[in-house]
């Protein structure tokens, strides 16, 4: 019997079969129309966002297609975590939307949503948080220094510079000072710039600059550098009653950083952003240039990171590799400090002091257990330098160093409970104890390079002495962690309190608290690694599966 005859018999004989058949036909028709309707939907598409870098109150023009001729109550634009309210829309056509950026606008993705769906995102950055090159002002000429408030200064003291043509706002302009480099020749002087990480810039106008003398500055000259050029050299004597600091034995490294994204499965217009750490600049590490980068990033430099962005639904390859090569100059730093000349902190209202003595995401400076332990260690000692040395000696003598890095979810406080910990634990606990004592201290993270160009993730500290600058401390090398140094060090415990060799490459200074670029996004955070930052990966809403592998930095060469 044929299938058709069987169907006819069942259809006439059984009412239930007839009902099931009718319902099935209805569902087939509805499914067909749903597919046709879905495919015919005009999902909005963004072609450009102008400006991509702006400020609250700016006019933003979004061009593209399928926005709809008019905006309905369900249509909206979202910039970062801000959904534009009705009063923020100036015009809405099928190919162009004009909005006014709200007062609370932050960095993030720009998405147009209509009843047909959401567009693939563009990217916007608030110009308050990113160095932006502005068009040259043809009315100005080269900057000129006329006078200063003092011919003799100490590191960290406030220098007031008077002159002309500095520019009404700083933008990318800077003030550069002769560096305290031991082997520097008079033919090729080296200068170091005032450092934003130390909050060195306090005031800037066209005729007056207030800047802190940066860590690592030495007697010699300074000058103002703007987009129009460099000013005249101006003599300045820099000396500290507390002691001396010298940089020497420069090494230049080529360091490769890679990350792999693979096994990508995305059903919606999901965007993945990667935040690759950029090595910070300092007197000890004055150069960290990005020599190679692929694929091309959205931003090469933003909040000490490189930002990559992927539209996962467009990725056809099984794996995407992100390659970065840095050329990094690194110096040995040696300090000679007379503790009797180290005085209590006077500028406790200074931003640097407040920032590096308070708690943050890693440092629990307000924890009573750490506070009580710090008091027990230093007893009646009030000298900041001596206090830092007492904590250093106590930790080396009391705690056992574990050879391997502990799991990422381990608590650093285990060190003071079990008397055992890894290099990360030693660094975070030392920073915490010093901050509880009111000593500015910062945790450094990066890699330690041995004489055979092998490297490992590593962490160390710096604490701040007023009128002197930052003092390096590496507790685990001081305790005797084995590694092959370029130059043998006889007494590592004595050396690594106040000195640091040029085999430490920093990838972050303190904890880099990054802002999410989109509301309700999925964030991946990596702990106990070569950089300390809050966001490594961020994916937008949508169903997405992928795997990622962040490879540790590799030293490709040294010269």
Per-residue pLDDT tens for 219-276? 999 999 999 999 999 999 999 999 999 999 999 999 999 999 988 776 666 788 999 9
CB 397, CB 479: distance < 8 Å: no
CA distance 91 to 89: 6
Q: What is the pLDDT of residue 175?
A: 98
Cβ atoms within 10 Å, residue 176: 20
**What are the sequence ranges of the domains in the chain?**
3-33, 45-129, 144-239, 248-331+510-558, 334-509
The helix or strand, by DSSP H or E, that contains position 282, with its residue range, turns out to be none
Quote the tokens at residue 64: 């593209």
**pLDDT score of 448:** 97
Task: Assess whether pLDDT exceeds 80 at residue 11.
Answer: no
> How many C-beta atoms surround the C-beta of residue 553 within 10 A?
25
Q: Is the pLDDT of residue 155 over 90?
A: yes
User: Contact 367/432 with Cβ under 8 angstroms?
Assistant: yes
Assigned token pair, 84 = 């534009």
**Burial (0-12, 13-18, 19+ Cβ within 10 Å), 506:** buried
pLDDT recorded at residue 264 = 77
Q: What is 202-239 written as a DSSP string?
A: EEE-SSEEEEEPPTTEEEEEEEEEETTEE---EEEEE-
| Residue 426: how many other CB atoms lie within 10 Å | 27
Torsions phi, psi for 470 (to 5 deg): -85, 140
**Mean pLDDT computed over 297-308:** 93
Count CB-CB contacts under 10 A for residue 458.
Answer: 26
**Distance separating alpha carbons of residues 542 and 545, to the nearest angstrom:** 10
Do 333 and 284 form a contact (C-beta atoms < 8 A)?
Answer: yes
Q: State the average pLDDT for the chain.
A: 89
Is residue 171 within 8 Å of 128, Cβ to Cβ? no
Q: Evaluate whether 209 touches 194 at the Cβ level (below 8 Å).
A: no
Does position 193 have pLDDT exceeding 90, yes or no? yes
Eight-state DSSP code of residue 554: E
Contact 392, 476 (CB under 8 A): no
Look at residues 333, 283, 328 and name the one whose alpha carbon lies nearest to residue 474. Answer: 333
Chain centre distance of CA 16:
67
Helix (H) or strand (E) holding 180: none
Say what the pLDDT of residue 534 is: 96
pLDDT at 139: 44
Helix residue ranges, H only, 270-365? 351-355
DSSP string, 352-406: HHHHTTS--SS--TT-HHHHHHHHHHHTT---HHHHHHHHHHHHHHHPEEPSSPP
Matching fold, domains 45-129 and 334-509: no
Half-sphere exposure (Cβ direction) of 277: Cα atoms closer than 13 Å: 32
Calpha distance 508→506 (Å, rounded): 6
Confidence at residue 189, expressed as pLDDT on a 0 to 100 scale: 82
**In which band, very low, low, confident or very high, does the pLDDT at 7 lie, cut at 50, 70 and 90?**
low
- Residue located via tokens 């030693």: 426
Q: Are 243 and 340 in contact (CB under 8 A)?
A: no
Q: Is the pLDDT of residue 131 over 80?
A: no
**H or E element that contains 479:** helix 475-479
Q: Where are the beta strands (DSSP E) in 80-143?
A: 82-83, 89-92, 96-100, 108-114, 117-118, 122-126
| Domain 334-509 classification at class level | alpha beta
pLDDT band at 188 (very low <50, low <70, confident <90, very high): confident
For 428, the 3-state DSSP assignment is: helix
pLDDT at 543: 56
| 523-532 tens-digit pLDDT | 999 999 999 9
CA atoms within 13 A on the CB side of 422: 15
d(CA 424, CA 428): 6
3-class state of residue 548 by DSSP: strand
Least confident of 4-13, 116-125, 220-229, 344-353: 4-13
Confidence of residue 544 (pLDDT cuts 50, 70, 90): low
CB 276 within 8 Å of CB 305: yes
pLDDT tens profile 61-84: 999 999 999 899 889 999 988 889
Q: May I ask the CATH architecture of the domain 144-239? A: Sandwich (2.60)
Strand 234-238 vs strand 152-153: parallel, antiparallel, or unpaired? Answer: parallel
How far apart (Å, rounded) are the C-alpha atoms in residues 137 and 203? 20
pLDDT of 376 strictly over 60 = yes
Give me the pLDDT at residue 317, please: 73
- Look at residue 10 in the predicted model and tell me its pLDDT: 58
Where residue 134 falls among pLDDT bands split at 50, 70, 90?
A: very low
What 3-state class would DSSP assign to 467?
coil
pLDDT at 15 (0 to 100): 67
| pLDDT over 90, % of the chain | 67
Asked if the model's pLDDT at residue 32 lies above 60, the reply is no
Q: What is the pTM of this model?
A: 0.79
Local confidence band at 348 (pLDDT 50, 70, 90 cut-offs): very high
β-bridge partners, 265: 545
Q: How far apart are CA 31 and CA 20, in angstroms?
A: 16
Between 56 and 3, residue with greater pLDDT:
56
Q: Is domain 45-129 in CATH 2.60.40.10, yes or no?
A: yes
Q: What is the pLDDT of residue 22?
A: 63
Give the 3-state secondary structure of residue 492.
Answer: helix
- Across the range 489-513, mean pLDDT stands at 96
Which residue in the block uniquely carries the two structure tokens 């919606």?
268
Q: Could you tell me if 280 and 509 are in contact, meaning their C-beta atoms sit under 8 angstroms apart?
A: yes
Summarize the confidence of residues 196-206 as an average pLDDT: 95
- Predicted confidence at residue 101, as pLDDT, reads 87
Give the highest mean pLDDT range of 47-51, 134-138, 157-161, 451-455.
157-161
> What pLDDT, on a 0 to 100 scale, did the predictor assign at position 503?
95
């Amino acid at each position: 019997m044929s299938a058709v005859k069987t169907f006819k018999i069942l259809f006439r004989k059984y009412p239930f079969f007839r009902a099931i058949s009718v319902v099935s036909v209805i569902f087939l028709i509805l499914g067909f129309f749903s597919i046709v309707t879905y495919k015919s939907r005009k999902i909005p598409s963004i072609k450009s966002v102008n400006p991509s870098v702006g400020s609250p109150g700016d006019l933003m023009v979004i061009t593209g297609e399928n926005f709809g001729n008019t905006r309905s109550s369900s249509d909206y634009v979202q910039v970062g975590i801000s959904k534009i309210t009705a009063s923020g829309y100036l015009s809405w056509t099928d190919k162009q939307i004009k909005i006014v950026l709200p007062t609370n606008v932050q960095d993030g993705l720009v998405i147009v949503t209509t009843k047909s769906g959401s567009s693939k995102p563009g990217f916007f950055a608030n110009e308050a948080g990113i160095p932006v090159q502005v068009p040259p002002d043809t009315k100005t000429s080269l900057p000129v220094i006329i006078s200063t408030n003092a011919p003799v200064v100490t590191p960290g003291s406030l220098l007031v510079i008077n002159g002309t043509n500095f520019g009404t706002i700083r933008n990318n302009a800077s003030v550069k000072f002769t560096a305290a480099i031991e082997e520097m020749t008079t033919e090729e002087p080296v200068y170091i710039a005032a450092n934003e990480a130390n909050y060195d810039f306090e005031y800037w106008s066209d005729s007056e600059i207030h800047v802190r003398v940066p860590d690592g500055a030495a007697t010699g000259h300074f000058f103002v550098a703007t987009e129009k050029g460099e000013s005249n050299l101006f003599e300045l004597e820099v000396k500290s009653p507390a002691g001396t600091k010298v940089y020497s034995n420069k090494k230049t490294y080529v360091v490769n950083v890679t990350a792999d994204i693979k096994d990508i499965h995305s059903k919606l217009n999901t965007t993945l952003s990667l935040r690759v750490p950029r090595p910070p600049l300092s007197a000890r590490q004055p150069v960290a240039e990005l020599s190679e980068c692929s694929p091309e990033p959205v931003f090469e430099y933003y909040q000490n990171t490189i930002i990559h962005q992927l539209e996962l639904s467009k990725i056809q390859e099984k794996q995407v590799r992100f390659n970065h090569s840095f050329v990094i100059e690194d110096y040995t730093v040696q300090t000679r400090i007379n503790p009797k000349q180290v005085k209590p902190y006077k500028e406790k209202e200074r931003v640097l002091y407040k920032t590096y003595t308070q708690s943050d995401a890693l440092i629990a400076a307000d924890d009573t257990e750490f506070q009580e332990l710090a008091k027990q260690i230093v007893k009646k000692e009030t000298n900041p330098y001596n206090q830092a040395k007492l904590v250093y000696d106590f930790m080396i003598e009391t705690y056992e160093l574990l050879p391997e890095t502990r799991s990422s979810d381990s608590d650093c406080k285990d060190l003071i409970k079990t008397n055992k910990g890894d290099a990360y634990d030693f660094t975070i606990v030392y920073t915490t104890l010093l901050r509880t004592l009111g000593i500015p201290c910062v945790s450094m993270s990066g890699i330690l390079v041995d004489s055979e160009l092998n490297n490992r993730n590593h962490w160390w500290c710096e604490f701040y002495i007023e009128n002197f600058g930052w003092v390096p401390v590496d507790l685990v090398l001081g305790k005797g962690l084995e590694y092959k140094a370029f130059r043998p060090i006889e007494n590592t415990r004595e050396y690594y309190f106040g000195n640091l060799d040029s085999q430490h490459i920093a990838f972050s200074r303190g904890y880099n608290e990054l802002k999410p670029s989109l509301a309700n996004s999925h964030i991946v955070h990596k702990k106990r690694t070569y950089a300390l930052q809050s966001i490594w990966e961020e994916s937008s809403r949508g169903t997405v599966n992928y795997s990622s592998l962040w490879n540790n930095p590799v030293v490709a060469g040294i010269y």
